[in-house]
Amino acid sequence: MNLSWQTRAQSIAQMKAETFDILIIGGGITGAGLALDAAARGLKTALIEKRDFAAGTSSRSTKLIHGGLRYLEHYDFALVREGLRERTELLTLAPHLDDPLEFVIPIYADKRRNYDHPLLVRAGLFLYDLLAGKYNIGRHRRISQAEALQLAPQLDPRGLKGALVYYDGRTNDSRLVIEIIKTANERGAAIANYVRLVSFRKDVNGKVCGAQVTDELTRESFNVNARAVINATGVWMNEVRSLSADLSDDDKQLRPSKGIHLTVSAERLNVTTAWLIPAIGEKRFYFVVPWEGRVNIGTTDTDYHGDKDAPGAVQSEVTNILQAVNAYFPSAHLEPSDVISAWAGLRPLISSGNTKQATTAVSRKEEIFTDRDGLISLAGGKLTTYRLMAERGIDLAVEQLRDHFGVQAKPVSTKQIILSGGGIKRVDLEAHAHKIARAENVSIETARHLLHNYGTNAEHILALTHEDEALKQPLLADLPNIAAEVIYAVRAESALTIADVLTRRTRIAMLGAAMNCVEKVADLMARELGWSEEKKAQQIAAFRAEYEREYLIAR
Ligand SMILES: Cc1cc2nc3c(=O)[nH]c(=O)nc-3n(C[C@H](O)[C@H](O)[C@H](O)COP(=O)(O)OP(=O)(O)OC[C@H]3O[C@@H](n4cnc5c(N)ncnc54)[C@H](O)[C@@H]3O)c2cc1C
């Protein structure tokens, strides 16, 4: 089944006419996971998202599927174990999007250049392996100086004693969200992006029984009736709760913490594995992660009080990160002009109200709770553990549905549900890419890109090129994306704006090349969506403004 502007219209018609068991507010990874879990259990499910799927934090993460080595310092062993197990589940549920990767921690004679004493770090890695148990994807080991330099020729050899290597996973966050959304839709969930919750509807007992919402594209307002409502709006959690309840003595303080990332080209920073580099003299580190042919560096962790819809990276944050990277990779000499994009995400941390505690010390464990009016809220947690969080959230909703409405859910676990595109084994991806390149006359880079981003759905993208050979054209000279991906995004992944295509269905904006193909993408979308010349120009202008705000460094 496809997710398009037509199916969005059908979902909206359904939302106006029917009563749902569960209405989910928010289309990030948390909302997407909830929609899939609820639909899989046979519950009549609806999801609304005020912008695009993954437009919030879920497109701005470090893109790691991990247990979280750092949480060991806070003795959060259960949290780490959960992450490690879910990491392995995800590698099976979406093998096209998630892959295991080596992470390397350099060891220097100068102890200021080490995160902690190397023996302690090694003990941490030993524990990490132990907690993974049968879900381990590779045991840690020590490598020599020469081996470390082979992995990263620009690494500073002065005082380098060797390195520690361990394993974690890497993903493509916004594509993971869209694959979950598509899978939920295939299982019957009514799903619409660009629909905003405006207020809650209450029954005679003061319990939440639906919502008043606005279609952001037509400005039409309508009501959605639902027996249970779940708030999965991340850093907007308390704004949404305050629409329904007085939060003046509430103990669930939401404390948004900003994390920025920089993307640089792989020619400027030559790494084939991920690296963990400590910030000299500080108890923190940055990840350096090869991703989609570029390298992402991040992240920071600071309290945030600005506009939640458009967090951005500022010059001083960029300078700090570049200084840290140059201290370890001095021959790279990274300068601000090497940064091809800079982006910021907000962690929906829930704190006890102790603002003296650093944001890094606030637990990453998710919080699930029910307000007096029955509204369930779910926030915190990690991208990695979305499936488990969703399971717990729907368990709570199912109790409400059973007790108040006698609704029964099927005992289905999402552990068994392969995500859209995931029906291919990771070990077969490379051979399959070669087959596609030969049979379809596309470059091996394009074949690999299609398989790693869309999995088995790559065949639907290639089918579009059989109808129109021009859709095989690359969108850009230096990236493997082809024109057919734009058509697929519109017809099968509910892309409605240029940013949906360039920022979240493809990751061209993050890879720093969006302005070189924006006109081409606009032409292709205009053809599909019937945009006039005027509408097309408005769309390009809106994209440019969003891109400058969210992907360029604020001066
Ligand atoms: C810098 C950074 C790095 C991270 N790195 C990792 C990592 O490597 N691995 C990992 O596992 N986790 C990571 N995380 C954590 C992870 O990204 C988040 O926990 C997760 O993305 C939160 O998802 P969410 O769905 O709860 O929130 P969001 O993705 O923000 O989704 C909430 C959605 O609700 C919508 N919304 C808000 N108000 C309304 C309304 N009124 N009506 C309708 N919709 C509404 C918003 O538009 C938004 O799309 C990182 C987080 C940050 C900030």
Helix pair 429-440, 458-467: axis angle to 10 deg: 0
| Cα–Cα distance, 113 to 104 (Å, whole number) | 14
Nearest alpha-carbon partner for 130 in 80, 177, 92? 80
Q: Which helix (H) or strand (E) holds 283?
A: none
Residue nearest to atom 32 of ligand 1 (CA): 233
Handedness of CA 209, 211, 212, 215 (dihedral sign): negative
Express each pLDDT in 344-401 by its tens digit: 999 988 876 555 666 666 666 788 999 999 999 998 889 999 999 999 999 999 999 9
Tokens linked to 69: 């080595």
| Cα–Cα distance, 422 to 419 (Å, whole number) | 5
Express each pLDDT in 398-421 by its tens digit: 999 999 999 999 999 999 999 999
Express each pLDDT in 502-511 by its tens digit: 999 999 999 9
Alpha helix segments (H runs only) across 306-428: 315-328, 386-405
Nearest alpha-carbon partner for 192 in 56, 46, 55? 46
pLDDT at 249 over 80: no
The full DSSP string for 64-92 is: EE---GGGGGGT-HHHHHHHHHHHHHHHH
- Which amino acid does the sequence have at 356? K
Inter-residue contact 130 to 61 (CB < 8 Å): no
Pocket test for ligand 1, best of 24, 61, 173, 216 (most atoms within 8 A of CB): 61
| Number of alpha helices (DSSP H) and beta strands (DSSP E) in the chain | 16, 18
- What is the overall mean pLDDT for the chain? 94
Ligand 1 midpoint to CA 162 (Å) = 37
Work out the average pLDDT over 241-251: 84
Pocket test for ligand 1, best of 37, 86, 236 (most atoms within 8 A of CB): 236
Nearest alpha-carbon partner for 107 in 274, 325, 275, 269? 275
What's the CATH number of domain 426-551, 2.30.110.10, 1.10.238.10, 3.40.50.1370, 1.10.8.870?
Answer: 1.10.8.870
Tokens linked to 189: 């969930």
| Cα–Cα distance, 3 to 191 (Å, whole number) | 9
State what percent of residues in the chain have pLDDT above 70: 97
What atom in ligand 1 is closest to the CA of residue 300? 1
Alpha helix segments (H runs only) across 297-443: 315-328, 386-405, 429-440
| Cα–Cα distance, 32 to 48 (Å, whole number) | 10
Inter-residue contact 29 to 181 (CB < 8 Å): no
CATH of domain 100-168+254-354: 3.30.9.10
DSSP state of 334: -
In terms of pTM, does the model score above 0.85?
A: yes
DSSP state of 279: P
Phi, psi (degrees; rounded to nearest 5) at 287: -90, 140
Tokens linked to 393: 């959230």
What pLDDT does residue 363 have? 64
Label residue 555 by pLDDT band (50, 70, 90): low
Tokens linked to 93: 């549920």
Ligand 1 midpoint to CA 231 (Å) = 12
State what percent of residues in the chain have pLDDT above 90: 88
The pocket around ligand 1, CB under 6 angstroms, is made up of 25-31, 48-51, 55-58, 61-64, 196-197, 232-236, 240, 259, 299, 345-348, 379, 381-384
pLDDT at 47 over 80: yes
Q: Which helix (H) or strand (E) holds 533?
A: helix 533-551
Express each pLDDT in 251-274 by its tens digit: 787 889 999 999 999 999 999 999
Angle at 431 between CA 428 and CA 434, to 5 degrees: 145
CATH architecture of 19-58+174-246+362-416: 3-Layer(bba) Sandwich (3.50)
Alpha helix segments (H runs only) across 329-416: 386-405
Over 208-255, what HEC string results? Answer: EEEEEEEECCCCCEEEEEEEEEEECCHHHHHHHHHCCCCCCCCCCEEE
Nearest alpha-carbon partner for 54 in 521, 494, 452? 494
Domain boundaries, the chain: 19-58+174-246+362-416, 100-168+254-354, 426-551
Residue nearest to atom 27 of ligand 1 (CA): 234
What pLDDT does residue 553 have? 85
What pLDDT does residue 279 have? 87
Ligand 1 midpoint to CA 392 (Å) = 18
Query: What is the chain's alpha carbon radius of gyration, rounded to the nearest angstrom?
Result: 23
